[in-house]
Chain A
Amino acid sequence: MSSAFSVLRQPLVEGDRTVAQVTSDIAAPLERRAGLMWWATFTAAFSMLMLGMIAITYQVATGIGTWGLNRTVGWAFDITNFVFWIGIGHAGTAISAFLFLLRQRWRTSISRAAEAMTIFAVMCAGIFPLIHMGRPWFAYWVLPYPNTRGPLWVNFRSPLLWDVFAISTYFTISACFWYLGLVPDLAALRDRFALWAKTGSLGVRIRYRIYSILSLGWNGSAKTWNGYESLYLLMAGLATPLVVSVHSIVSFDFATSILPGWHTTIFPPYFVAGALFSGFGMVLTLMLIARKVVHMENYITRGHIDAMCKIVIATGGMVAFAYITEIFIAWQSGNLYERFAFANRAFGPFGWAYRIMVFCNVFAPQLLWIRKIRNNLLAVFILSIFVNIGMWFERFVIIVTSLHRDFLPSSWAHYTPSLVEIATLIGSFGLFFTAFLLFCRVLPMICISEVKGVLNYGRRNGEH
């Protein structure tokens, strides 16, 4: 070992920031005017959102006959998008809960933004079952409540109802977790804006008021921190099994049916691994954009990107293993329909989608084994987009190829998405990025108090 080799760990925050600088660095994007990059990305995202709004308005007014569905393929784009977005959300909870329990201290810089991503992704996911109802104004009928339609209850034995409970619980918990994590930071912003509130403009005074109210009078006393830390630990412990349950229940929507290609016991773990894989892909995409757009290079370092790449390799390996297992079981079962479902998946009319999926999810991420590629941010960005595309196609492949050719050849059909469906998918991306960009402008995108706690990590005592 050479003498120049440091025994200290790589610091989690670069650029030798002091505790005071952490506050001003992270608050800076909220206090300056938005840059050209921000406006450019926001305009693009907002245009996509508006396109989606037009599509949704049209299909709600006209009916879901505007979609490309037919009697054989009754689920396609909508459920694909739903599962895709729910999966994206899982990485946020994984970062804030799994990695917290595993004492991965690097998570502090990315946890806030990843949790925000979870909330926005679940919002995007929620749109699709809602519009698939055709008459979304009756959406409350999925909730069990005493009603005047006779004693008519929802079917508690149906995975679709379990989904209602799982997704709404997941959204509620994620939002609570996120808000409580924000309280100490909102207090820091309150104290920061207090300096300018007396002389500042109306906008500054309004923001000071909002931060004051939302920070609940937080004063950072040791007793409050103690309660807050127990809360955080308990919430992490609760959110960890929750996130596993959510995607397991989503997979039950398929696995409890008798359709070849869906009816498999591997689905719950396979879906959870896929969700983490796609979620970390999206976290990488977002963080690589965000650190550039709002200049957080000192906080979201190459070390963070490197660690997330390794998680992508690991979860991608699980997904690849699940693909192989599925094919093996289909062959080993000796069941004609099961074997056909998988042969049709790979070589049938939707074989191109299967090949995109395998290329993006199994082969492309293997490049991340190479350190040079992990250090090349452009390469990582492109690979993260591949993961996003691959995982979207995975859900499309599972749903559409299993449905379009089932037991009876006379009922086989093809599926082509209509423009309305494509516009709705684009719109969901628009909603996601619009919400995320607005979040970057009004709330601290990095957890100030947590980063302060890890500032000395990897530095000598007294050197800060």
Chain B
Amino acid sequence: MSTSHKVYGLMAEFADGEELLAATRHAYEAGYRQMDAYTPFPIHGLAEAIGFRHSRLPLIVLLGALTGTATAFLLQWYPAVIDYPVNIGGRPLNSWPAFVPIMFELTVLFASFAAVFGMIGLNGLPRPYHPVFNVERFQLASKDRFFLCIQSNDPKFDLTTTRQFLEDQRPHEVAEVAP
């Protein structure tokens, strides 16, 4: 196992999304967990095949939305009632129905910021360096090639048997990924 620490993982290249999906499912069945697939466009069912269940993004967005609503209400209530009360024909200072449009706008604004920065954060972007780019042909992952990378930190990873396993999936080629 000493050699396995010198590589980031083994990467198989496929010409087709269907082949990649099948190979990923086989890898999961074979017990591999630390892996990721790289595709030029989203492929339905691929994240599930890797064993990635759900995203925490919706919860983050909900929290952002609630923060926005509360911020907008306080932003309007404080000047209207405390700092700058104006008596307009004896109407209530806390005229909350008039505050609704801005509450709505800031709800959407904060929720969207939560979504944007949540996605960037959860995905670890921006990422100046990633080992997968060390593979010469990986630049095709944004064009028309589909890659499956089984990482060396997987307990089942072994340079010889994992390579054999990937070769059995009939890929275009299998490459070692330098760390």
Tell me the chain A residues, 220-239 only, with Cβ under 8 Å from chain B.
220-231, 234-235, 238-239
With both chains docked as a complex, state the minimum distance between the C-beta of A69 and any C-beta of chain B, in angstroms. Answer: 27
For chain B, residues 96 to 121, give those with C-beta under 8 angstroms from any C-beta of chain A: 98-99, 101-102, 104-106, 108-109, 111-113, 115-116, 118-120
Residues of A within 8 A of B165 (CB): none
Among B36, B75, B102, B127: residue with most chain A CB under 10 A: B102
Of the candidates B75, B108, B140, the one whose C-beta lies within 8 Å of that of A242 is: B108
Residues of B within 8 A of A191 (CB): 139-143
Residues on the B chain within 8 Å of A153, using CB: 79, 83-84
* Smallest CB separation, B111 vs chain A (Å): 6
Q: Are B144 and A222 in contact (CB under 8 A)?
A: no
Q: Is the CB of B40 within 8 A of A220?
A: yes
- CB of B115 within 8 A of CB of A231, answer yes
Q: CB-CB < 8 A to B122: which residues of A?
A: 227
Encoded as 1 (CB less than 8 Å from any B CB) or 0, chain A from 13 to 24 comes to 000001110010
Alpha-carbon distance between A169 and B109 when the two chains are bound, in angstroms: 6
A219 and B38 contacting across the interface, CB-CB below 8 Å: yes
Considering only CB atoms and an 8 Å cut-off, how many residues of chain A contact the other chain? 59
Chain A residues, CB < 8 A from B112: 172-173, 176-177, 235, 238-239
Q: Is A180 an interface residue (CB 8 A)?
A: yes
Contact, CB under 8 Å: B123 / A224:
yes
Q: Once the chains bind, are A169 and B47 in contact (CB under 8 Å)?
A: no
Partner of A195, one of B119, B128, B129, B139: B139
Q: Are B111 and A238 in contact (CB under 8 A)?
A: yes
Partner of B125, one of A20, A152, A217, A453: A217
Instruction: Determine if A225 and B42 form an interchain contact, defined as CB atoms under 8 angstroms apart.
Output: yes
Nearest chain B CB to A115's CB is how many angstroms away? 14
Chain B nearest CB, measured from A175 CB (Å):
10
B37 interface contact, C-beta 8 A: yes
C-alpha gap A180/B57 in the complex (Å): 15
What 3 A-B pairs have minimum CB-CB distances, sorted nearest first? A217-B127, A216-B126, A19-B144
B10 close to chain A: CB less than 8 A: no
Q: How far is the CB of A100 from chain B (nearest CB, A)?
A: 13
A223 touches B47 (CB 8 A): yes
Cβ of B58 < 8 Å from any Cβ of A? yes
Minimum C-beta distance from A262 to chain B (A): 18
CB within 8 Å of A: which B29-65 residues: 36-43, 46-47, 49-50, 52, 55, 57-58, 61
A154 nearest in chain B by CB position:
B79
Beta-carbon contact of B119 and A228 below 8 Å: yes
B66 interface residue (CB < 8 Å to A): no
Q: Are B50 and A222 in contact (CB under 8 A)?
A: yes
Contacts of B132 in A (CB 8 A): 219, 221
User: A156 touching B98 by the CB < 8 A rule?
Assistant: yes
Question: In the assembled complex, which residues on chain B have CB atoms less than 8 Å from the CB atom of A230?
Answer: 55, 57-58, 119
A430 to B141, CA, bound (A): 39
Looking at chain A's contact residues, the main secondary structure is helix
Residue of A nearest to B57 (CB): A230
For A223, give the chain B residue with the smallest CB separation. B52
Q: Distance in Å from the Cβ of A154 to the closest Cβ of chain B? A: 8
Enumerate chain B residues within 8 angstroms of A187, measured Cβ to Cβ: 142
Q: Which residues of B does A touch, CB under 8 Å?
A: 24, 36-43, 46-47, 49-50, 52, 55, 57-58, 61, 75-76, 79-80, 83-84, 95, 98-99, 101-102, 104-106, 108-109, 111-113, 115-116, 118-120, 122-123, 125-130, 132-133, 138-144
Extra inter-chain contacts (19) besides given A23-B143, A156-B98, A219-B138, CB under 8 Å: A166-B101, A184-B142, A187-B142, A191-B140, A191-B141, A217-B128, A219-B127, A220-B142, A221-B37, A222-B39, A222-B49, A225-B41, A227-B57, A234-B115, A235-B112, A235-B116, A239-B112, A449-B42, A452-B41
| The one of A20, A23, A216, A238 that contacts B120, using a Cβ cutoff of 8 Å | A216
Question: Knowing A156-B99, A218-B125, A226-B55 touch, does A18 contact B144 (C-beta < 8 A)?
Answer: yes
How many Å lie between the Cα of A162 and that of B105 in the bound state? Answer: 9
| In contact, A216 and B127 (Cβ under 8 angstroms) | yes
Q: Bound state CA distance, A319 and B89, in angstroms?
A: 38
**What residues on B are CB-neighbors of A301 within 8 Å?**
none
Instruction: Decide if A222 touches B38 in the complex (CB within 8 Å).
Output: yes
Asked, given contacts A216-B125, A222-B47, A227-B123, whether A162 binds B41 with beta carbons under 8 Å apart, the answer is no
* A161 and B125 alpha carbons, distance in the complex (Å): 36
Query: With A153-B84, A156-B102, A452-B41 as given contacts, are A227 and B55 in contact (CB-CB < 8 Å)?
Result: yes
Q: B105 and A245: CB pair below 8 A?
A: yes
- Chain B residues lying within 8 Å of A234, measured Cβ to Cβ, are 57-58, 61, 111, 115
Q: Are B42 and A227 in contact (CB under 8 A)?
A: no
Among A156, A183, A229, chain B packs the most CB atoms within 10 A around the CB of A156
- Closest CB of chain B to A111's CB: distance in Å? 14
B105–A169 CB distance below 8 A? yes
In the bound assembly, the distance between CA atoms of A267 and B96 in angstroms comes to: 22
Counting CB contacts under 8 A, is A157 at the interface? yes
- Residues on A with C-beta less than 8 A from B119 are 180, 227-228, 230-231
Report B-chain residues with C-beta under 8 Å of the C-beta of A151.
79, 83-84
Centre residue among A161, A162, A184 by max chain B CB count within 10 A: A162
**A158 (CB) vs chain B CBs: closest residue:** B98
CA distance A349 to B95 in the complex (A): 41
A458 within 8 A of B: no
Please name the residue on chain A nearest to B44 by beta carbon: A453
**Bound Cα distance A221, B102 (Å):** 38
Contacts of B102 in A (CB 8 A): 156, 161-162, 165
